[in-house]
């Protein structure tokens, strides 16, 4: 298989797999799961093969393929990856099979057949790969909009009690951003026609255009609004807590772990290279939004009683750090931001999965309904702790390297924004550790009052004025089972990546840095490396 064909196959394979799974008889749910798992593992293998074929010191875009799509409009079905897109494809390849395995039994309890869930999941994978691999702006836009459909149905058909509201809100916000971007895409096409004599959507050709600074600002805003909603940046973030809380756990992992990265990826791939003057002009405004997001979302996370909403708010805070790294306009900070995108997907994906496993045992998303879980499920508590420590960027975990690069890369250029953003690190320690302490330690309570826990004594009046002790009636009695082998197989690879990339992130940095350096050169910023 040629390297370029592997990108086409990474889109076609899950799309075909989705059709096969959807066509299976309703009673063949086990076969549907097996096909979905097999297809997702094959897609992971293709991502690994693409990485092996990629030359970090070679051309900016590699593994390219291009087929004429709409010749009258100058649109091609053009695919290719730089180091930034490649690491995102690896993230998709890792997360999707783990999500399939994690949803093995969860999908059985949904109102729709399990095959429908896994078919939408595979179709979503195909669309996500297309978004990151597209090198034609119109093709990117098509994938950008198309990936809303499977996620809408995953939330709306398989989510929580308020799933319809969350699904519609997610779709409308994203659709609105996409329509604004479509206007900018058309404007970019008109500019290319006036300068080149014929319109084009090819990224490399558009990057060479000499666009008037005033026009750049308008086009930048068109792309920026769509990407800021998708990221999301405050104040365009309100759809994410609802969608993250109501989505099924597998959908939430991909929503926060991958889909939201399309926004920050779009900043790097399109806003900075195509509109460098506008990017520099609007950078202070974006940095203000980023820092507000870091602090505001962290404070809101501290006040959440719903675990899934809490994790969703932590992601909004983390995206503020990523935006800070991108718009600091240094290669060091930009490299840290891209690495943060990958590491956030791993750490938050792990945290969402563990939270989902806890909810599956207790039947409640409320933090106050849990306590003392570590005593009866030490493996679950251990996985929860690792995920939490990675989310708060403890040294030795993967997120620490990313956050460190963003901060030291941003400080020389944007010291005030960087110093303010560091407050978010303190807040992260508070909301993560408080959630862990309340659920995993202390006395058993609420829905997780352990079956072997003696009931609390209640004083009662005895004969002659003496006080006797009677057993209080047990409430919500439920024994907490620990992680089984399937669940351990799901969390173990992510825990290994949390620790492995925390100790040795260099392989990913080698892929990311040349692409970020080229992007910073496009915007007229420094092209220094991360070797300090």
The whole-number pLDDT of residue 479 equals 59
The whole-number pLDDT of residue 369 equals 87
Domain assignment present for residue 108? The answer is: no
Whether residue 240 contacts residue 316, with contact meaning beta carbons closer than 8 Å, is answered with yes
DSSP code, position 71: G
Whether residue 505 contacts residue 398, with contact meaning beta carbons closer than 8 Å, is answered with yes
Residues 73-106 as b/e (b if ≥16 CB within 10 A, e otherwise) read ebbbbbbbbbbbbbbbbbbbbbbbbbbbbbbbeb
Distance between CA atoms of residues 295 and 423, nearest Å: 7
Domain assignment present for residue 119? The answer is: no
Please give the residue range of the domain that contains residue 494: 282-317+333-457+471-503
The whole-number pLDDT of residue 362 equals 85
Query: How does pLDDT run across 259-313, given as a tens digit for each residue?
Result: 999 999 999 999 999 999 999 999 999 999 999 999 999 999 998 999 999 999 9
Nearest to 138 by CA among 194, 177, 184, 174: 184
CB atoms inside a 10 Å sphere around CB 388? 26
How many residues comprise the chain? 532
Whether residue 174 contacts residue 162, with contact meaning beta carbons closer than 8 Å, is answered with no
The whole-number pLDDT of residue 3 equals 55
Where the chain has pLDDT below 50, the residues are: 1, 450-477, 527-532
Half-sphere exposure of 207 (CA within 13 A, CB side): 19
* Radius of gyration over every alpha carbon of the chain, rounded to an integer in angstroms: 24
CB-based burial of residue 201 (10 Å sphere; 0-12 exposed, 13-18 middle, 19+ buried)?
A: buried
Domain assignment present for residue 55? The answer is: no
Nearest to 355 by CA among 311, 404, 419: 311
> Taking the C-alpha atoms of 480, 484, 487 and 489 in order, what is their torsion angle to the nearest 10 degrees?
150
The whole-number pLDDT of residue 4 equals 55
The whole-number pLDDT of residue 447 equals 58
The whole-number pLDDT of residue 27 equals 86
Question: Quick check: bond before 232 cis, omega within 30?
Answer: yes
The whole-number pLDDT of residue 455 equals 44
Residue 210, helix vs strand vs coil: coil
DSSP code, position 72: G
Which residues 6+ apart lie within 8 Å of 321 measured at CB?
290, 294, 337, 340, 403, 406, 421, 424
| The overall pTM is greater than 0.85 | yes
The whole-number pLDDT of residue 463 equals 40
Domain assignment present for residue 508? The answer is: no
Whether residue 420 contacts residue 407, with contact meaning beta carbons closer than 8 Å, is answered with no
The whole-number pLDDT of residue 219 equals 96
The whole-number pLDDT of residue 429 equals 87
Domain assignment present for residue 479? The answer is: yes
Residue 81, helix vs strand vs coil: strand
Domain assignment present for residue 486? The answer is: yes
Q: How many domains does the chain divide into?
A: 1
Whether residue 335 contacts residue 425, with contact meaning beta carbons closer than 8 Å, is answered with no
Structure tokens that stand for 29 in this block = 């749910």
Which residues 6+ apart lie within 8 Å of 214 measured at CB?
none
Domain assignment present for residue 201? The answer is: no
Domain assignment present for residue 52? The answer is: no
Q: What are phi and psi of 81, to 5 degrees?
A: -135, 145
Q: What are phi and psi of 336, to 5 degrees?
A: -60, -35
């Amino acid at each position: 298989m040629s390297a370029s064909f592997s990108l086409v196959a990474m889109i076609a394979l899950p799309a075909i797999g989705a059709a096969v799974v959807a066509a299976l008889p309703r009673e063949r749910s086990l076969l549907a799961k097996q096909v979905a798992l097999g297809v997702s593992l094959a897609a992971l293998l293709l991502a690994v093969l693409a990485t092996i074929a990629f030359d970090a010191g070679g051309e900016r875009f590699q593994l390219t393929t291009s087929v004429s799509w709409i010749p009258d409009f100058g649109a091609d079905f053009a695919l290719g990856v730089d180091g930034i897109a490649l690491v995102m494809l690896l993230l998709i390849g890792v997360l999707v099979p783990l999500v399939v395995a994690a949803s093995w039994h969860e999908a059985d309890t949904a109102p729709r057949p399990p095959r429908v869930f896994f078919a939408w999941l595979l179709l979503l994978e195909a669309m996500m790969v297309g978004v990151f691999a597209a090198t034609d702006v119109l093709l990117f836009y098509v994938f950008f909009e198309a990936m809303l459909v499977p996620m809408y149905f995953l939330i709306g058909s398989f989510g929580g009690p308020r799933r319809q509201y969350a699904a519609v809100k997610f779709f409308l916000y994203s659709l609105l951003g996409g329509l604004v971007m479509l206007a900018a895409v058309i404007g970019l096409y008109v500019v290319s026609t006036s300068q080149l004599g014929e319109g084009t959507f090819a990224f490399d050709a558009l990057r060479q255009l000499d666009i008037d600074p005033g026009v750049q600002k308008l086009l930048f805003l068109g792309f920026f609004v769509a990407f800021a909603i998708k990221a999301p940046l405050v104040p365009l973030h309100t759809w994410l807590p609802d969608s993250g809380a109501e989505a099924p756990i597998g959908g939430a992992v991909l929503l926060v772990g991958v889909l939201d990265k399309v926004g920050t990826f779009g900043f790097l791939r399109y806003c900075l290279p195509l509109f460098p003057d506008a990017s520099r002009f609007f950078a202070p405004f974006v940095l203000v939004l980023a820092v507000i997001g870091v602090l505001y979302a962290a404070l809101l996370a501290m006040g959440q009683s719903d675990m899934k909403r809490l994790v969703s708010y932590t992601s909004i805070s983390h995206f503020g750090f990523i935006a800070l790294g991108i718009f600091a306009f240094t290669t060091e900070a930009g490299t840290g931001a891209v690495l943060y995108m990958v590491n956030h997907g791993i750490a938050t994906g792990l945290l969402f999965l563990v939270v989902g496993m806890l909810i599956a045992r207790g039947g409640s998303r409320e933090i106050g309904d849990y306590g003392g879980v570590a005593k009866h499920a030490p493996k679950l508590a251990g996985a929860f702790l690792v995920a939490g420590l990675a989310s708060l960027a403890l040294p030795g975990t993967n997120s620490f390297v990313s956050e460190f690069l963003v901060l030291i890369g941003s400080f020389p250029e944007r010291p005030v924004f960087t110093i303010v953003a560091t407050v978010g690190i303190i807040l992260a320690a508070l909301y993560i550790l408080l959630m862990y302490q309340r659920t995993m330690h202390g006395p058993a309570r609420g829905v997780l009052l352990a079956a072997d826990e003696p009931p609390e004594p209640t004083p009662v009046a005895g004969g002659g004025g003496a006080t006797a002790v009677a057993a209080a009636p047990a409430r919500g009695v439920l024994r907490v089972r620990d992680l089984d082998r399937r669940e351990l197989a799901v969390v173990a690879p992510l825990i290994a990546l949390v620790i492995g990339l925390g100790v040795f992130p260099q392989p990913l940095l080698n892929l990311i840095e040349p692409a970020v350096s080229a992007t910073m050169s496009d915007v007229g910023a420094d092209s220094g490396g991360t070797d300090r």
